Amino acid sequence: MGHTVFISFKTEDKAFKDEIQSWPDLDYIDKSLNEAILSDDQDYVMQRIRSDYLSRSTVTIFLIGRHSAEILGADEQYYIKKELQGSLYSGAGNTKNGILGVILPSMTSSIYLGDYQCGTCGDSHRNVDVGDCNAIREFGYNYFIPNEKCSWSEDDRYCVLVPWDTFVGDPEKWIDEAFAKRSAPIASKTRVRP
């Protein structure tokens, strides 16, 4: 694999992180934000996260499990939110990471809700729920970046989303797809703190 990844995960999902790190061709950074960076200057906080934790990474893998939802509260999600914010942050001497959301098996049926017939265009669309009940807002917003359409194509999304079983079948493909988003036009529409 050609890209260095950072894995953002909840402690309860550590077994999945460990499995990813066991793959022989994966270049990863094994750091986690475990202590709050005490400052009211959000640019300073983002620069510290980028330099201290994410500096060599180009893709962040966000493991989406039962414990990684926005609704669990700001204190519970502080570190994972900051890791995703730091991944989306472009500042002095760094560019944002591609974001790859990997849906863990326990969450697949909560996120992929089937297809529906659109009342606006008449086409069939996949119903995907990466809202606050299932994911961190920084992921959900940048997956469904607001647009004037009734649906989102892959070009309308910055974040990439894949179920665990599909990801493990060809991780390089999905990491490459997330990396490519960094230079795609949609990269200019991301938000660090939605």
Please check whether residue 68 is in contact with residue 62, taking contact to mean a CB–CB distance below 8 angstroms. Answer: yes
Domain count, the chain: 1
**Quick check: is 45 in a domain?**
yes
* Contacts by residues 108-117 (CB-CB < 8 Å, ≥ 24 positions apart): 108/163, 108/164, 110/134, 111/64, 111/135, 111/161, 112/163
**Quick check: is 117 in a domain?**
yes
**Quick check: is 194 in a domain?**
no
Pairing verdict, β 98-103 and 59-64: parallel
Percent of the residues in the chain that have a pLDDT greater than 70, as a whole number: 93
Residue 119's contacts (CB-CB under 8 Å, 6 or more residues apart) are none
**Quick check: is 19 in a domain?**
yes
Task: Please write the tens of the pLDDT for every residue from 67-115.
Answer: 999 999 988 888 888 889 989 988 776 789 999 999 999 999 999 999 9
Domain assignment of residue 55, given as a range: 4-189
**Quick check: is 180 in a domain?**
yes
pTM greater than 0.85: yes
**Quick check: is 68 in a domain?**
yes
Q: What is the pLDDT of residue 32?
A: 60
C-alpha to C-alpha distance for 98 and 177, rounded to whole angstroms: 8
Percent of the residues in the chain that have a pLDDT greater than 90, as a whole number: 65
The H or E element spanning position 21 is helix 14-21
Q: Binning pLDDT at 50, 70 and 90, where does residue 161 land? A: very high
Task: Please write the tens of the pLDDT for every residue from 42-67.
Answer: 777 777 777 777 777 899 999 999 99
